Amino acid sequence: MKKKSPDNKTIELLNKRRTIRAYSAKPISQEDEKIIIRAAIRAPTAGNLMLYSILKVTDQKLKEKLAISCDNQPHIAKAPLVLIFLADMQRWWNYFELCDVQKKCNEMHVNFEKPQESDLLLACCDALIAAQNAVIAAEALGIGSCYIGDIMENYETHQELLKLPRWVFPITLICFGHPKGDKDKIPLTNRFPVDYIVHENIYHQLSREDYKNMFEGVERKRIIDYAENFGQQIYFEKLGADFSIEMRRSVKVAIKNWINGNQKD
Ligand SMILES: Cc1cc2nc3c(=O)[nH]c(=O)nc-3n(C[C@H](O)[C@H](O)[C@H](O)COP(=O)(O)O)c2cc1C
C-alpha cells in the first residue's frame, strides 16, 4: 500500500514536484518573478556571504545560443524565465581589493589567500541551495521548472557569452514557465528505496544483491540497444555519454582558470 503524505501543504508540494520542460505561452508576471528571486536569496548561505549571483537571461538570441551550447535543449529558448545560478567569489575578492586586504596581509606578514577549490565548492553549494529555493517558490506559484546541468559544459563559450570573470562559475541554469497542459498528468519519476540512499553512521557499499533489490521496479526504459544490463544502459546513456565527457573537459578548464587564471585576467 502506498504511504500517504502527511497533511501538510509544503510537504505535499515537495512530493508532487516534477520537472517541467514544456511551457505555455503565458508569461511569468513581474510579481511572481520577484517572489521567486526573493525566495532564492532567502536561502541559507555560508557565513551569510551570498557566494553566488543570479543571471537573468532576457535576450532571446542569447537564450537560443544557450539552448545550443547546453547540449541542444530547445526548451531553454522557449522558457519564459531563464535564470543562471553562478557560484561567485569574484564579488568578495573585488571588494577585498577595494579594501586593501592584500596590503594589510603584507603588513601583517600573513599570506593573502586567493579563492581555491574549496571556495568554488562552497560557492556552488550556496548557488544550488538558492536555486532550489527558487524552484520550490515557483512550484508554489504553479510555475514549473527544469534544471539544466549542461550549463557546466562549454565553459569557454559561456565565459565569453556571459562575460564571466575568473572567480564566477555557472553551476546551473533553470528554465521556468507555466506548464503546458495538465502537469499532474506527467507521471512522477521514481526514486530508489530510501534504505539504499540513507546510511547510518558509516557508509556501506552495496552488494550485487543490494543492487538487484534497489533497481527492482525502478528500471528505466532501455534506450541503448547494445546495453546488456542496467549498468551498461546508464553508463552509455549518461555518465559515459558525449555530454558527460564534454562536461568533464569543460569543468577541468574552469577549475584550472579559477586556480591559475588565464591570459584574459
Ligand atoms: C543538477 C541537475 C541537472 C539537470 N540537468 C538537466 C538538463 O540538462 N536537462 C533536463 O531536461 N533536465 C535536467 N535535470 C532534470 C532531471 O532530469 C530531473 O530532475 C530528473 O529526471 C528527475 O525528474 P523529476 O525532477 O521530474 O523528479 C537536471 C536536474 C538536476 C538536479
Burial of 96 (0-12, 13-18, 19+ CB in 10 A): middle
pLDDT of 217: 79
CA 146–ligand 1 middle distance (angstroms): 6
**Contact 145 CB / ligand 1 (< 6 Å):** no
pLDDT of 2: 53
Q: Terminal CA-to-CA distance of the chain, rounded, Å?
A: 59
Q: Bridge-partner residues for 256, per DSSP?
A: none
Say which residue the cell 557546466 belongs to.
Answer: 152
pLDDT of 145: 98
Q: How far, in whole angstroms, is CA 98 from its chain's centroid?
A: 31
Contact residues for 154 (Cβ-Cβ < 8 A; gap 6+): 69, 70, 246, 250
Domains identified in the chain and CATH numbers: 9-189 (3.40.109.10)
Instruction: Name the residue of 148, 153, 173, 190 to mutate for ligand 1: max ligand atoms within 8 A of Cβ.
Output: 148
**Contact 45 CB / ligand 1 (< 6 Å):** no
pLDDT at 3 > cutoff 60: no
Using CA atoms, how far apart are residues 237 and 239, in angstroms rounded to an integer?
A: 7
Tens of pLDDT, residue by residue over 104-115, are 999 999 999 999
CA 125–ligand 1 middle distance (angstroms): 17
pLDDT of 223: 79
Say which residue the cell 538487484 belongs to.
Answer: 212
> What pTM was estimated for this model as a whole?
0.96
Q: Bridge-partner residues for 168, per DSSP?
A: 88
User: Which atom of ligand 1 is least distant from the CA of 128?
Assistant: 1
**Average pLDDT estimate for 131-139:** 98
**Contact 18 CB / ligand 1 (< 6 Å):** yes
Q: Bridge-partner residues for 147, per DSSP?
A: 174
pLDDT at 1 > cutoff 70: no
Q: Do 190 and 105 contact (CB within 8 A), yes or no?
A: no
User: Which atom of ligand 1 is least distant from the CA of 71?
Assistant: 8
Using CA atoms, how far apart are residues 221 and 223, in angstroms rounded to an integer?
A: 6
